[in-house]
Amino acid sequence: MRAWLKAMLPVVGLLAHSPARAEAPSSHWLDHSALTLAPKRLEVGLFSQSAYAINDRVQISTHPLWFFALPQAHAKVRWATNGCLYFSTSHSLEYPWPFLRLVTKEGTGGLLPPTDPPPQSLLIENAGLLSARLAPGHWLTAELGFSVGPRTKTPVLLDFPFLYQRFAALNSAIVPHAAVSANGPVDGAFDYMVYSRYSRLFLPDTPGAFAWESEVELGWSVTPRVRVGASARAEVARFPVGLRWHWFPLADVRIAW
């Protein structure tokens, strides 16, 4: 995994060698803030993204569990530091065709009709993140961004919980989103993370479509290099069939080097 992440260095090399900005603290564990991990730190998540910090400003990541079904690459770049404020941008590129092909079938696991092969497509997302330090170790972050989904033919709509907004750009010109998050220590080795994201979906057959997804997580750093997290994720969304809500629990283990 470390070798694969390092192989992405040429993609963001120019960003990594741009003029240095004011030094900022590093994020202890991967989070939704504008901070990046400590330089050369590698984090591997059992069910979540794995990330590598090229330096104190550039961080790259991918999702190893999903990579062969949904090839993807992500980068976060910190551009500016001003007192207690930190500004970064995040960028992601996904190739959804292998995943769409897996779910194009009848029966269990079939989300798309087998009579219409999925198009060749990309999912591209860009966002700006502004983090404010509220207290030592505590961060509040605001995020604004959008995703687009260039494709070769027929639009695709995955009318399924938690996949709905993630693939909505394949059926819309653009999908803007706004998010807010907070994270910090609780007591000793414990920490918290709260994240909420609203996406506006401009779908031709669903006026007023949207998706609002939130997550609350409690983490325990068993050692400085091993973290166990337990969380719950919920979503309220306006689907073509009407307003629905869903939720499910999550657990994850992260290991750092």
The pLDDT value given to residue 129:
98
> What is the reported pLDDT for 26?
78
- Which one, of 172, 181, 190, lies nearest residue 129 by Cα? 181
**Best CA proximity match to 192, nearest among 227, 161, 165, 146:** 227
Picking from 59, 12, 15, the residue whose alpha carbon sits closest to that of residue 35 is 59
- Give CA–CA dist 255/257, Å, rounded: 7
Six-digit token string for 206: 């669903």
Mean pLDDT split into 10-residue runs, the chain, 257 residues: 45 42 71 96 95 96 92 97 94 97 89 89 98 94 98 90 96 96 93 98 93 98 96 97 95 96
Per-residue confidence (pLDDT) for residue 225, from 0 to 100: 95
pLDDT, position 37? 95
Residue at token pair 């198009």:
119
- What predicted TM-score, i.e. pTM, was given to this entire model? 0.87
Buried b (16+ CB within 10 A) or exposed e, 88-118: bbbbbebebbebbeebbeeeeeebbeeeeeb
Residue 135's alpha-carbon distances to 10, 129, 180, 183, in angstroms, are 36, 18, 17, 11
- The confidence score (pLDDT) of residue 188 equals 83
